[in-house]
Amino acid sequence: MLKINDQIIFALREHKPLVALETAVLTHGLPKPLNLETVLAMEEAVAAVGAVPCTIGVLQGEIIIGMTQAQLQELAEKEAVKIGLRELPVVVAKKLSGGTTVAATAYLAHRYGLRVLATGGIGGVHRGAAQTFDISADLTVLARTPLTVVASGAKAILDLGLTLEYLETMGITVAGYKTKTFPAFYASSSPYKLALELCTPQEVAAAARARDGLGLLAAMLICNPVPPAAQIPYNELMALIAAVESEVQDRQISGQDVTPELLKGLAAKSGGRTLAVNKTLLIENARLAAKIASELVQLKT
């Protein structure tokens, strides 16, 4: 049911800095061949800082903590399930393959001793949630999983204001990294202000250690905006999302299929710009996560 890569076992034993990476971006978040290129680039960014990348996924029912390049290639070519926490036991039992979302990756990372996770953007409260109750399981899992999660805010297709409110309700610390506004994934900033700001990996690591010392059980979300030169400005982005959202609603798409379809539509309408931004922010988040993981190790020694 479970395989932990020898390199990951060694890194855990020797207290090396580790960064967990999800695989839903490989199976559902980005098209081929950009998906595999991006995941490998994220791993390279982590390794370049001196940390150990630990990409988590499932192949034929086996949970793999620290996938090899060959395993990532195999997963990228398979018909894959998008694995949240609810799907995990069934995927294992039926020996299916799939990419783990933030929720499943965070759970597995914490269970097996990792402390830092990097992703693009977390899931959150969907638009119209007052009627649909469509709220990502990412938020519930992060509320009970004391990791440090580096992301460019929440996915821009969500209701960012309600997502921030829900994060506060669930006791999840949200801090901007060198920013006082909540990033909107493809956009570096949004109209939504953040109460907390951290400006160095050392500050983030110190806050994470304080959280652990206080016995708090929720994750700490570090919001790392995509570099302004690479972004799609917020107003332009919202116009794109409104157009794509209308099309998806007309097609009566629902559930887990909504996010992939919206992302696919945004890529088409933006002429591929959203894909380029997505790759950039994923790599930058992995790089920052590696720096934070390295600082956490220094604090522990």
Looking only at the bridges linking them, the beta strands covering 116-118 and 98-100 are: unpaired
Catalytic residues: 22, 155
pLDDT at 132: 75
What mean pLDDT comes out for the span 236-257? Answer: 85
Instruction: pLDDT band for 256, please (50, 70, 90 cuts).
Output: low
pLDDT tens per residue, range 261-272: 888 899 999 999
What mean pLDDT comes out for the span 24-39? Answer: 95
What mean pLDDT comes out for the span 143-158? Answer: 96
pLDDT tens per residue, range 279-294: 999 999 999 999 999 9
Lowest mean pLDDT among 138-142, 156-160, 177-181, 259-263: 259-263
Residue 260: pLDDT over 90? no
H-only helix segments in 179-257: 201-213, 234-250
pLDDT at 261: 84
Closest CA to 224 of 138, 83, 122: 122
Query: Which domains does the chain show, CATH number per domain?
Result: 2-300 (3.40.1790.10)
The strand ranges marked E within the chain are 2-4, 18-21, 52-59, 62-65, 81-83, 98-100, 116-118, 148-151, 173-177, 197-198, 220-223
pLDDT at 127: 81
pLDDT mean across residues, the chain: 94
50: alpha, beta or left, given left = phi > 0 and alpha = psi -120 to 50?
A: left
